[in-house]
Amino acid sequence: MFAIGTFSQFSAVSIRTLRHYDDIGLFRPVHVDPATGYRFYAAAQLAELNRIVILKELGFTLAEITRMTESEISGEQMLGMLRLRQSQAEQRHGEESRRLAMVAVRISLLERTTDMPDIHSNPVVVKPLPAMRLAVTSEGVDGFDVDFSPVFQRLFPRLFGELGRLGINPTGPTVALYDERPDGRVDVLAAVPVPEDAELDSGDVSIRVLAPAPRAATIIHHGPMTTLKESYGQLMTWMQAAELSPTSYSREIYLDMNGDPSTWVTELQFVLA
Amino acid sequence: MFAIGTFSQFSAVSIRTLRHYDDIGLFRPVHVDPATGYRFYAAAQLAELNRIVILKELGFTLAEITRMTESEISGEQMLGMLRLRQSQAEQRHGEESRRLAMVAVRISLLERTTDMPDIHSNPVVVKPLPAMRLAVTSEGVDGFDVDFSPVFQRLFPRLFGELGRLGINPTGPTVALYDERPDGRVDVLAAVPVPEDAELDSGDVSIRVLAPAPRAATIIHHGPMTTLKESYGQLMTWMQAAELSPTSYSREIYLDMNGDPSTWVTELQFVLA
DNA sequence: TTGCTCCTCACGTCACGTGAGGTGGC
DNA sequence: TTGCTCCTCACGTCACGTGAGGTGGC
């Protein structure tokens, strides 16, 4: 029999870990001196400890290993658990790969423009978008090269006028979206979230429900709408570097339009595949 | 200004997390109602929160991010931290890859022999070996096909006789090792650990110091020496499956030779590259 | 008055590492 | 008697999730 220090050396498992395994009932010494509490291990226990070490290296938790050793497991069952572990490990491996790729993207963006920390100048975040129930009104335009302000100056009064007439209160910030049309033109939509029970379809203004999006690339734009294209540029530069592409045109969420336009806050969103 | 629930929705960061960031001083609301303790966030704060989210996704800890945001960091510094992160992430990625490979090895070993759970029948552990100071005596043989018992029956009495004569007490279990010789023959060494200050060089018995090995493949053998080759077989099967190769011949550590040979416990070791 | 949102503790997570403070045997 | 080994608490780790129990405003 070996005292804990010797057994720790032979097994390359720390004394603290051996005590921990004793505490949680995973692996106990063959003998404990009742007077001193000293733990004593038999050489033959090394094989049992080694099985635990192996299972741990494969990524099983101590709770799982405890269950495995308590109820003797068949080869088939072990195979099943290993396959489960394999898929979990593959998932974590994939996450690590993506993280690594993102670090590389940030490095390459920064190397291009060493004048400013890119994370400050290019804070693109990928996040899920919740579903939204919107009241919308729209107008077709020829493309993205036109000035949208006159369009919105027609759309928003129409939208809010109709909502006011119906006594419907917006439940969130104003939104602009852009849609492809079958004829190749672009639909400009002015919209605002409305309650679940709000119904309307007055021809010009109707309800549209946006499905939740699991992943969207987003950036916060500060300042007036006239400088929006700079933020769009950053967002698209980032998407190119990250090799991600949008599934549709953008959405603009006007989070803060109080006070001077130089203090406005807008979120630009591209839903990703 | 937004209450915490609204801000949580817009940012896709949980309420609990926002409170946590407030607690640790990483990200505070622009305003807290003194009467109720309600937190209020400004739209413009979304950009700041997004930077934190990005840094977290890149794998930085909250403590690191706190330092980064407290002391405004230059592009160069950020590049340096990103490169450091990259190497850390590569390391973790490598570990995940190895773990994945090990799971695959276990699965393939199990698929070959579904009659028994391989981890029970093949508990090979890779671990570091500590340095050892040994008293050794040796003898050359023609190869591994011979019966070693007569050799050991000459070597061990010689070894322990000499140690007894010098009054040197072993500090660990008996060891056998095998060495290549320049002439192609094999050196069989019988050895035992001795204290740091023990000196001896009597021709037949001398001191040899084994360097610590960072990685060795090991297996516990139960029973008499006559069945050692079965355990060697398992160990070598595992090394083949794991695509690992030893740098030298094996070592045998006789951990328990008390009582009947059927209860003996021996560890077989192959130092890995 | 009833929901809704928000609040502050405070425990739990996972597998030990790391002191603190103390005790038998050579 | 002095080191050495071993012992038992018990806090700390990391970033929150998850109740418990309670409070203002519509």
Q: Over the stretch B43-98, which tens digit does the pLDDT of each residue have? A: 999 999 999 999 999 999 999 999 999 888 888 889 999 999 999 999 999 999 99
- A19 has pLDDT over 70: yes
Q: Do B47 and A10 touch (CB under 8 A)?
A: no
Task: Report pLDDT for B115.
Answer: 57
Scan residues 118-137 of B and list those with Cβ closer than 8 Å to A: 118-120, 123-125, 127-128, 130
Nearest neighbour of A86 by CB, restricted to B47, B107, B265:
B107
CA distances from B51 to A124, A272, B3, B47, B159 (A): 8, 20, 20, 6, 69
Q: Which of A228, A229, A218, A238 is closest to A112 using CA atoms?
A: A238
- A117 has pLDDT over 70: no
Nearest neighbour of A89 by CB, restricted to B74, B103, B220:
B103
Q: How far apart are CA B154 and CA A69, in angstroms?
A: 43
pLDDT band at B110 (very low <50, low <70, confident <90, very high): confident
Mean pLDDT of A248-252: 95
- B120 has pLDDT over 70: no
Shortest-distance nucleotide from A17 CA to C1': C16
pLDDT band at B205 (very low <50, low <70, confident <90, very high): very high
pLDDT band at A116 (very low <50, low <70, confident <90, very high): low
Q: Over the stretch A32-89, which tens digit does the pLDDT of each residue have? A: 999 999 999 999 999 999 999 999 999 999 999 999 998 888 888 899 999 999 999 9
DSSP state of B156: H
% of chain A beyond a pLDDT of 90: 81
pLDDT band at A97 (very low <50, low <70, confident <90, very high): very high
Q: Which of B33, B58, B59, B31 is closest to B45 using CA atoms?
A: B31
Q: How far apart are CA B195 and CA B134, in angstroms?
A: 9
* pTM across the whole model: 0.90
pLDDT band at B249 (very low <50, low <70, confident <90, very high): very high
Name chain A contacts of B263, Cβ cutoff 8 Å: 44
Interface check for A88 against chain B (CB to CB < 8 A): the answer is no
Mean pLDDT of A25-34: 96
- A28 has pLDDT over 70: yes
Name chain B contacts of A113, Cβ cutoff 8 Å: 75
Task: Report pLDDT for A75.
Answer: 84
Mean pLDDT of A249-271: 96
pLDDT band at B117 (very low <50, low <70, confident <90, very high): low
Scan residues 22-61 of A and list those with Cβ closer than 8 Å to B: 42-44, 46-47, 50-51, 53-55, 57-59
Task: Report pLDDT for B75.
Answer: 84
Q: How far apart are CA A130 and CA B245, in angstroms?
A: 53
Contact between B81 and A118 (Cβ < 8 Å) = no
Q: Which residues pair with A126 in a beta bridge?
A: A217
Task: Report pLDDT for B196.
Answer: 87
Task: Report pLDDT for B144.
Answer: 83
Mean pLDDT of A206-227: 95
Q: Over the stretch B140-181, which tens digit does the pLDDT of each residue have? A: 998 888 888 899 999 999 999 999 999 899 999 999 999 988
- B243 has pLDDT over 70: yes
Q: How far apart are CA A146 and CA A152, in angstroms?
A: 12
A37 CB less than 7 Å from any atom of strand D: yes
- B116 has pLDDT over 60: no
Task: Report pLDDT for B200.
Answer: 84
Q: Which of A108, A271, A252 is closest to A188 using CA atoms?
A: A252
Range scoring the smallest mean pLDDT among B101-115, B224-238, B255-269: B101-115
Sheet holding B251-256, edge to edge: B125-129, B213-222, B265-271, B251-256, B174-180, B186-193, B132-141, B206-210
- A20 has pLDDT over 70: yes
Burial-class residue B227 by CB neighbours within 10 Å (0-12, 13-18, 19+).
middle
